[in-house]
Each structure stands twice: as structure tokens, then as C-alpha cells.
Structure 1
Amino acid sequence: MEPHKTESTTSLLSTIVDQLSALIRAELHLARSEVDQNLRRAGVALGMIVAAVVLLMTALNVLAAALSAGLAELGLDPGWAALIVGVAFAGIAWALLSKGLNDLKMSSLAPSRTAENVKRDARAVKGA
């Protein structure tokens, strides 16, 4: 009876090690996938920041032209029109910059779903 018990214990330990190994591989795959997804989102956020910088530079040019035209003419019509366009571009640039910076926060890049799965798996292992 003793050899049969040893074989079943060895078999059980082997099964546990195999399942634990499979679980770790699955969690690593999930973490890698989640980090890839978060990095793609960060790339989009960087694109928004670049677009914001381009628009902000355009806004500064338009605002400078508006100030020059306003001071030169003092009739305010062409200058105020350029000023309105410049303020609108600056507002769009600000919105894009805010969104891009918000999306780049480290908390949004961390693999939070994987961390939750690992915690749940650890609780399950402790329970077993």
C-alpha cells in the first residue's frame, strides 16, 4: 500500500507543478498583452500631444498676426477675426494636450487586470 501512496503523491505534486507552471505562463501572457495594449494607447496619447503642439504653434502665429494687424489698422475688423481664430486653435490645442497628458499617467499604463488576476489566483491557491 505504501508504494501506491507514494506514486499518487508524486503524481499529485507533478500535477500541481504543471498547473502552477501553466498558470504562471498564462498570467505572463496576459500581462504582456495588457502592457502592449497600454503602450498602444500611450502612442495615441503621444500623437495627440504632437497634434496639440502643432496647433499651439499655429495659434501663436495667428495670435501674433492678429496683434500685428490689430495694432496696424486699429480698425479691429481683420485683427479681431484673426484673434478669434487664434483663440479657437489655442482652445483645441489645450483640450488635446490635456487629454494626452491624462492618458499618459502611470496608473493607466500599469497592467491592472493582470494584478487582479494574480491576487485572485493567490487567494485560490491559499484556499486549496
Structure 2
Amino acid sequence: MTAPYPTDHSRDRSEDVAETSVGDLIGNISNDLSQLFRQEVELAKVELKQEAGKAGKAAGMLGVAGFAGYLAVVLLSFAVVFGLSNVMDPGWAALIVAAVWGIAGAVLYANGRKQLKTVDPMPRRTVDTLKEDAQWLKNPTG
């Protein structure tokens, strides 16, 4: 059975609340908001780091695709020069080597481009939580 009157503990708490000044309340709100802001910045850092990793991987693939294109040009040149002494017609030898490197470059380029499209520079979770925080600030009771 509960007591009809508040316990001493609840009376102490209500006295503490009653004695809290407006300045203290504003200070508490200010501290809470600054802590919330720091947490949001930290979340944004984590999200941006993840997206930067994805962008780095895609850029690496595009770099390899560029290198493959460069090798296609170099090998095409060498194939033309050295192909003259082969049994095969020099033109066909050069085309085969160039086609192999061209295909490799095209595949790497397509994969890198596709992965680069998945990079999202916007920290979505941070934006969502900031919207929630703004909504809470507008209506803290509901």
C-alpha cells in the first residue's frame, strides 16, 4: 500500500527542483545542446570516413583502368614493332594484344564507375538525427 503523502525522498527532489534557478536550467540546456552537437559531429565524421573509404576504392579501380588503357597503347606500339618479325601477320598480332587490354580496361572502368555511383557524400544518419533534434526542440513534450 502506498502512503497518501509523498515520501521524504520525493519531497527532497521537489525542493531541489523548486530551488533551481532559471539560469541553472538554461545552463543545463546549454550543456545538453553542446553535448548533443558534439555527438552529431562525431557521427558525421564516422559516416564521412566510411564514404571516403568507398570513394578511395572506386578511385583505385579507375586508376587501374587508366593504367590498363596506357598499357594497351604501349603494347600496341610494341606489338606493331615486334610483330613484323613474327610468323603471324603483324597487324593481327597488334590488334589481339590491344583488344585484350582494351577489354580489361573497359571492365575495370565499368566496375569502378558503378562503385563510385554508390558513394553517398551526404551523412544521412546525421541529417536524420539533426531533424529529430530540431523537431524535439520545437516540441519537447510530445
TM-score (norm 2): 0.63
Match of 1:125 in 2: 137
Q: Secondary structure at the match of 1:109?
A: coil
CA apart distance, 1:86: 3.1
Which runs of structure 2 are paired with 1:19-98 in the superposition (5 Å)?
19-63=32-76, 69=83, 73=89, 76=92, 78=93, 81-98=96-113
1:110 is aligned with what amino acid? M
* Aligned residues of 2:55 and 2:116 also touching (Cα < 8 A): no
Distance 1:64 1:89 in 2: 18
CA distance in 2, matches of 1:75, 1:9: 88
Decide whether the 8 Å contact of 1:51 with 1:93 is kept in 2: yes
Across the aligned residues of Structure 1 and Structure 2, the Cα RMSD in angstroms comes to 3.2
Alpha-carbon offset, residue 49 of structure 1: 1.7
C-alpha distance in 1 between matches for 2:74 and 2:59: 23
Structure 1 contact 49–97 (Cα < 8 Å) conserved: yes
Q: Relative to 1, partners in 2 of residues 1:91 and 1:75: Cα closer, same or farther, differing over 3 Å?
A: closer
Q: Percent identity?
A: 28
Query: For 1:79-109, what per-residue CA distance to the aligned partner results, in whole angstroms no more than 9, with x for missing partners?
Result: 56435423422322332442355356xxx12
Partner Cα separation in structure 1 for residue 91 and residue 58 of structure 2: 42
Cα 1:65–1:101 shift into 2, 3 Å: farther
Aligned length: 120
Secondary structure of 2:20 counterpart: helix
What code does the residue aligned with 2:100 have? V
Return closer, same or farther for 1:67/1:53 CA change in 2, 3 Å cut-off: same
Gaps of 5+ in 1: none
| Rg (Cα) greater in structure | 2
| C-alpha distance in 2 between matches for 1:7 and 1:55 | 71
Superposed displacement of residue 13, structure 1: 2.4
More helix by share: 1
CA distance in 1, matches of 2:62, 2:131: 35
Contact 1:30/1:114, CA 8 A, preserved across alignment: yes
Q: Which moved more, 1:59-68 or 1:25-34?
A: 59-68
Query: Is residue 110 from structure 1 mapped to residue 110 from structure 2 by the alignment?
Result: no
Matching residue of 1:7: 20
Aligned-partner Cα distance in 1 for 2:115–2:76 = 24
